[in-house]
Chains A and B, each alone.
Chain A
């Protein structure tokens, strides 16, 4: 891949064509739903949620519109802050053309996703297992907790130079950085979750004659699960963060590489695309965990809905 040829790619913005259908139109659900209101009367909670989720879209859309106006009117130069339309076109071009400078967006996404997936899987597993060991026994706590607490205070990104010396500049240091970052929140939350299980429930389990293994399976782990899921979300957040930083280490593929190239070619619009892809991927994985939460914590739902 040649880096010597700066490609003035992707500047074909069409400033004034603000996308139609972006504004909440007259077919807004609040109005459309007014007719069959009797049908939904039995589900006031669901309807309210539906409406509020629509209302939550208003301010992000307003920000998009203002962003568009500010940069396309020339208030801020399009070079510094490319308008959303230009970012969109850049994204389309990055997807459809395999340029020597950037590769394709989907290719970069795959590489990044793979890094984060491996790193998160390894780190998450370590954090979970360490949390279980520390949470379930005093001996485990004494042997696992001190090193984990020490590790926790080490500034993650301060380790990058060390990692480069130890593991080079290939895939390994990136994945390890992500794994290390992801392991900590899951560890802390698993540990805390297990230790905060209601002692009265454990006592009830004891009075029912549960064996230790049954106690762990039926009382302790399910009791710790809400907290473990919180840890899972935090771990995912850190995994993405670590990915972004790790990918600045001499990457030759991935979203971080695209950002580096965009910077080299002074193409902010490319950087914005990569950043937005990070956002979307982060949101998607978060939504995945939330879905998992809804499935796993179904016993709370009836209670919370009331």
Chain B
């Protein structure tokens, strides 16, 4: 298997270098991961390494096992077989924000936090995602974007070494999604967790990730590093080429290819 460890994350456009003792710099490693649902193999002997601080986007058609892989990494699936190592802690932001409706927003962020003053820590996290004003609101009164921000704050406040994002922006409108992309990049740059973003949106993957992985029939079909500095211009020639490549990979014919 070809090494899939990219270079230092802080300068994604820089040269690929493999630091010494890279095992220690892994956020997560997976070997021979297999998961079957009623005899159907959703993950098939999958191997994957995610470097510490790396932003990985996982794309693929529906039912190719993207979310299954994410749930396995989150420790939410106990029926996967194979080797799975996560260095440090994980936190998840789900597609639906899954805020606990009977706890105020700050109390959702503080849920399960084991610190001396969870309330102020939670408020700090909400400040970071721009939700200071809504800290005392009930989750059911939040807009979709606000709820997703709260969900991000709840994940990040745990300072995870691996942040798992399961299509967290797919239910948002286009404008909110762009704002959220910027927020995620900013938070990632600040906290430097490794990120695994599951998405079906090629543009989203290209806008955010250091590396885009294509999942197909439970295996990794392709792994493309993205060496374009952020913030990224959608029309950057590298991105245009990569987009065309990835769309072909996903079986979508592209028109007007430059």
Interface residues of A (CB under 8 A from B): 200-201, 203-210, 214, 218-219, 222-223, 225, 297-300, 302-303
Closest A residue to B91 by beta carbon equals: A207
Contact in complex: A200, B98 (CB < 8 Å): yes
A214 touches B112 (CB 8 A): yes
B74 touches A207 (CB 8 A): yes
- Tell which of B100-108, B176-184, B215-223 binds the partner: B100-108
What are 15 A-to-B residue pairs whose CB atoms are below 8 Å? A200-B98, A203-B76, A204-B94, A204-B98, A204-B100, A205-B112, A206-B76, A207-B90, A208-B111, A208-B158, A218-B111, A222-B103, A223-B102, A299-B102, A299-B103
B111 adjacent to A210 (CB under 8 Å): yes
Query: Quick check: is B171 within 8 A (CB to CB) of the other chain?
Result: no
* Contact call B141/A303, Cβ cutoff below 8 A: yes
Which residues of chain A are within 8 angstroms of B158 by Cβ–Cβ distance?
208-209
Most chain A CB within a 10 A radius of its CB, from B92, B100, B102? B102
Hey, what's the 0/1 contact readout for B85-121 against A, CB within 8 Å counting as 1? 0000111101010101111000000011000000000
Range, interface on chain B: 20 to 34
Bound: A223/B91 CA distance, A: 23
B189 within 8 A of A: no
Dominant secondary structure at the A interface:
helix
A210 to B112, Cβ gap below 8 A?
yes
When C-beta atoms are compared, the residue in chain A nearest to B137 turns out to be A302
Residues of chain A lying within 8 A (CB to CB) of residue B100? 201, 204-205, 218-219, 222
The 8 A-B pairs of least Cβ separation, nearest first, read: A303-B140, A204-B98, A208-B112, A207-B92, A222-B102, A299-B102, A299-B138, A210-B112
Per DSSP, are chain B's interface residues mostly helix, strand or loop, or mixed? loop
Bound complex: CA of A209 vs CA of B249, how far in Å?
37
Q: Give the chain B neighbours of A303 by CB distance below 8 A.
A: 101, 138, 140-141
Query: Using Cβ atoms and an 8 Å threshold, which residues of chain B touch A218?
Result: 100, 103, 111
Contact check, A200 vs B96: say whether CB atoms are below 8 A apart: yes
Give chain A nearest CB distance to B186 CB in angstroms.
23
> A200 CA to B98 CA in the complex, in Å?
7
Which A residues touch B89, using CB under 8 A?
209
B123 lies within 8 A of chain A by Cβ: no
Residues on A with C-beta less than 8 A from B92 are: 204, 207
- B102: A residues at CB distance < 8 A: 222-223, 225, 297, 299
Asked if B154 lies at the interface with its beta carbon under 8 angstroms from chain A, I say yes
On whether the beta carbons of A299 and B111 are closer than 8 Å, the reply is no
Contact of A208 with B154 in the complex, beta carbons under 8 Å: yes
Residues on A with beta carbons closer than 8 Å to the beta carbon of B111: 205, 208, 210, 218
* Minimum Cβ distance to chain B for residue A211 (Å): 8
* A209 surroundings in chain B (CB, below 8 A): 89, 112, 158
Measured between alpha carbons, how far is A298 from B141 in the docked complex, in Å? 12
Q: By CB atoms of chain B within 10 A, which of A201, A209, A298, A303 has the most?
A: A209
Asked if B101 and A300 sit within 8 Å, CB to CB, the answer is yes
Inter-subunit contact B140/A300 (CB<8 Å): yes
Smallest beta-carbon distance B105→chain A, Å: 11
CB-CB under 8 A from A222, the residues of chain B are 100, 102-103
Using Cβ atoms and an 8 Å threshold, which residues of chain A touch B76?
203, 206-207
In the bound complex, CA of A149 to CA of B8 (Å) = 63
Nearest opposing residue in chain A for B92, CB measure: A207
Q: How distant is the Cα of A218 from the Cα of B101 in the complex, in angstroms? A: 11
Measured in the bound complex, the distance between the Cα atoms of B85 and A226 in whole Å is 40
* Chain A residues within 8 Å of B103, by CB: 218, 222, 299
CB distance from A227 to the nearest CB of B (A): 13
